[in-house]
Amino acid sequence: MNAGTISLSYRRYALGLLLAVNLLNYIDRQVLFAVFPLIKIDLSLSDTALGFLGSAFMLSYLLFAPLFGWLGDHWSRTRLASGGLVVWSLATALAGYAPGYRTLLAARATVGVGEASFGTVSPGLIADFFPKERRGQILSWFYVAIPVGSALGYLLGGVLGQRYGWHAAFLLVGVPGLLLAIPIALLRTPPRGGDDASAQPSKGKTTAGYSALFRNRSFVCNTLAMAAMTFAIGGLAQWIPSFLYRVHSLDVAKGNTMFGATTVLAGILGTLAGGWLGDRWQKRSGKGYLLISGWGFLIGTPFAAWAILAPGLTACMSAIFIAEFFLFLNTGPLNTVIINVTDPAVRAMAFAVNIFFIHALGDAVSPSILGWLSDQWGLRSALLITPLAMVMAGLLCFFCGRFVVRDMALVES
């Protein structure tokens, strides 16, 4: 199918459908952290064991991403996305029947397998529906699902968990995803490269795949910046509900409602602002996306630190809002950089490598690390390592700017 034959209304439909699935992706991912306090009490877990529930999801997510990345560049992207949706929705629902820690751990690991399939193919698929100059804004709309879905995961998990128990929370949020599996499988798709595709990608580019990505300095630096960001976001997202419960004495429902509402507002504003600003600055400078992200990280760092240290709840939540705004500012720009510096023939593999490393170095380890540090020092002190990761992410964005213009030119040549 030629990209030009797809109507604007159908492209918007595709964006809306994939956005809806990504929304469920993050609801099912984050609901676990909303019910952390309930699981801890019910199963008598240490913070280290509790943190490993989050790490188990991420470990399977990153380990299966390379396989699905290769499949995404050689097979139907819509079928992979649909199959992944079925797997993670069923696994989330079945967690509602978990009698103990081991079965819950297995269910969360299976959620990671399903989400790895969708995560590797969906960004490139979205980008192929729209022209290059709008990629930042379009991907920002797609990634609005991160704050909104995460917030809904906290809200639904908190309310359902408080009223009906953590088992019911998993069951009720897992089932809706099954309803979208068929529409995703039937989605018409543009050629790889979208409107800019002039020919089918050569076999040489496809087979070069993973080895070529590691020689792409912009891709490597951008991925390391996103890994540092993911360490910070993963640590804050997974432990802030418990932080509010322990330090500010909020019950599960109220704490998750406040944090969820803050995340929705800050996340939507930050994500959409980042896409809009990124596209505008990219027209002025070939490293515009990286400049927006780098400054966003550095500006947000002191607010993240104050959110953890603030003695009162009002100051804490205000600082969380500002920190989250600047964290989410980078979402569209940094994912757009991945697309702009990689050939369409290997974009699913590029996102697979990106997923592997940002989670292997980020939120696959941060829940367990912060849980262990919390057992040693207390949760407030443990959380203070997250602002340091934000500083590192900002510096890596600026360093990546040294290579990005040349690497984009190589893709376009």
CB neighbour list of residue 171: distance below 8 Å, 6 or more residues apart: 93, 95, 96, 97
**pTM (2 d.p.):** 0.74
**How far, in Å, CA of 217 to CA of 406, rounded?**
10
**How far, in Å, CA of 307 to CA of 396, rounded?**
24
Burial (CB < 10 A; 0-12, 13-18, 19+), residue 248, is middle
Give the largest Cα separation in the chain, rounded.
Answer: 60
Measured CA distances, 119 to 161, 197, 265, 277, 383 (Å): 27, 22, 24, 24, 27
Ramachandran bin of 246, using left for φ above 0, alpha for ψ from -120 to 50, beta for the remaining angles: alpha
- Domains of the chain, each with CATH number or no CATH: 3-191+211-412 (1.20.1250.20)
Beta-sheet strands, E only, within 135-288: none
**How far, in Å, CA of 236 to CA of 185, rounded?**
34
User: What's the mean per-residue pLDDT of the chain?
Assistant: 85
> Hey, is 188 helix, strand or coil?
coil
Is residue 133 within 8 A of residue 279, CB to CB? The reply is yes
Residue 238 CA, chain-centre distance (Å), reads 13
**How far, in Å, CA of 345 to CA of 223, rounded?**
19
pLDDT digits (tens, 9 = 90+) for 101-112: 999 999 999 998
List per-residue pLDDT tens for the chain, 413 residues long: 555 577 888 888 988 999 999 999 989 888 888 888 888 888 888 878 887 887 788 788 888 888 888 887 878 888 888 999 999 999 999 888 888 899 999 999 999 899 888 888 888 888 888 877 777 788 888 888 888 888 788 788 888 888 888 888 998 888 888 899 999 988 888 776 655 554 444 444 444 567 778 889 999 999 999 999 989 888 887 788 888 888 887 877 787 778 878 888 998 999 999 988 988 898 888 888 999 999 999 999 999 999 999 988 999 999 999 999 999 999 889 989 998 898 877 887 888 888 889 888 887 788 778 888 888 888 888 999 999 999 999 999 999 989 998 888 888 76
**Residues 154-170 as b or e (16 or more Cβ within 10 Å = b):** bbbbbbbbbeeebbebb
Is residue 170 within 8 A of residue 96, CB to CB? The reply is yes
CB neighbour list of residue 275: distance below 8 Å, 6 or more residues apart: 136, 137, 138, 139, 140, 141, 331, 332, 333
Helices 145-164 and 166-174: crossing angle, nearest 10°? 140
Rg (CA), the chain: 20
Structural element, H or E, at residue 25 = helix 8-34
CB neighbour list of residue 264: distance below 8 Å, 6 or more residues apart: 147, 148, 151, 152
pLDDT digits (tens, 9 = 90+) for 172-229: 888 888 899 999 988 888 776 655 554 444 444 444 567 778 889 999 999 999 999 9
Is residue 30 within 8 A of residue 157, CB to CB? The reply is yes
pLDDT of the residue at 197? 53
Is residue 362 within 8 A of residue 227, CB to CB? The reply is yes
pLDDT of the residue at 371? 82
